[in-house]
Structure 1
């Protein structure tokens, strides 16, 4: 599948990944998802990149999966599809990702946004999991990803009713972290990503790993994992630099080691 609908640029230590298929409201196909996954994997391997902004621009984040592609799947081909593997790869990304969401953020697009660590939304954003209206269910986290942010009730509403909610309701229930004018959504997401990128890189990755453990482990196991991550960071040069800079009342110069 072509990946010409995904464009990447750099803003200092921040990678910007843009879905650029406006004529289809940024509908997702295997090529797009594979390209996004590859960009995030490359960011994880690049020490010069400390955070990523994922966006569809100020028009639409993504109206969901390309239905023409989805309708061509059998049960067997869906389970082995590059779409499924790409979503799994995106979920495994180690560096922090800020979603900059405007317009439609539906179905697979909503799952993609909620797989990110922070969600900044434009005032024109609309969220939902309408898959039930087509006779199936979300297949990339849409029955799970609402719950940590918005609770079990909102998760059930999204999956069972298939109704759309506007950005203000999404903010009220905790689905998004910040609402800004649609034309400012990328700048607002970049501001958050730049702030993250200025922190100690190893600590940022550890913080993301600890946060994601909450839904995969018991509370006790997650707390023990947090302690293990903290102990490992104490042996880093960045931790020493951070404490020295604090005591010397100067900005820290983190090196990622």
Structure 2
């Protein structure tokens, strides 16, 4: 959740260059759908085979604070990318200044308990975590509150050297509400998660990598390119087996060891019903590259 107010104070302390989306060295790029009307995001196809969907958060004046409209845009974009068979992986990013500086406090200021409870407030924000295709967060700048939670909904986090993470909801009299206390604890452990959420302190990309929250750290200008390269590497595998593997890893993340092992075994068995498993093993024995079809 957090923090338009917090971000306002932050922005006063830092130089405010004109908002820009990071340039990519990859020459292949086009709009995913000219018919799509997104107010708060940009959606493009990236990579040499245009098989990577790139979603860029684009709330220029609010450091990409997460409002309902922006989250609805993300949800709709994910629906389109999931349905597009040419897309094998997705990258989610913001600007060099802010991945997402938090939730929009103005939208939450006057909400009541009954409104939140009866309306299942923030429940729709989980759409990112329910994506079947692998999704990589490319984080630069501030990823605070809801921004940190959004990054943690992704499967892999790549971060720029200047990225700052945090769950500062405690500073405005509330707690994380979109997975901050849950996913963070799974990622970094109880003690470190308690320190982060009870103090509201920010932490760096290097610390996030050390604690296991971030996979890799890169120079700011390389983060999105590296995330796209990772997506392209993933796309060389069977998209069907990738989805099955993702489900198995998530099982380890969300269940007990014994239940996770049972799930893994069942999913392992299920690959033997696919043409791609047979093609992969045959290609290995014939010492050639496999020709996966997603079947």
- Partners of 1:239 and 1:156 in 2: CA distance: 43
CA contact (8 A) 2:95 2:141 kept: no
User: Structure 1 residue 39 and structure 2 residue 77: aligned?
Assistant: yes
Unaligned runs of 5+ in 1: none
Q: How does 1:48-127 map to 2 (within 5 A)?
A: 48-79=86-117, 84-127=122-165
From 14, 31, 46, the counterpart of 2:52: 14
Q: Which residue of 2 aligns with 1:212?
A: 250
- Partners of 2:120 and 2:150 in 1: CA distance: 15
Q: Which residue of 2 aligns with 1:145?
A: 183
- Partners of 1:187 and 1:92 in 2: CA distance: 24
Change beyond 3 A, Cα 1:28–1:82 = farther
Q: Greater CA deviation, 162-171 or 112-121?
A: 162-171
CA contact (8 A) 1:58 1:185 kept: no
Deviations 1:24-73 (A, max 9, x none): 11111001111112222332233221110000032210000011111132
Specify the structure having the higher radius of gyration (Cα). Answer: 2
From 95, 111, 133, the counterpart of 2:171: 133
- Partners of 1:83 and 1:9 in 2: CA distance: 29
Q: Which residue of 1 aligns with 2:203?
A: 165
- Partners of 1:80 and 1:252 in 2: CA distance: 51
Question: Alignment length, in residue pairs?
Answer: 256
CA contact (8 A) 1:60 1:103 kept: yes
CA contact (8 A) 1:6 1:20 kept: yes
Deviations 1:145-187 (A, max 9, x none): 1122211112111211111011111111111110001111100
- Partners of 1:45 and 1:119 in 2: CA distance: 23
Note the aligned Cα RMSD (angstroms). 1.6
Change beyond 3 A, Cα 1:41–1:96 = same
CA contact (8 A) 1:47 1:256 kept: no
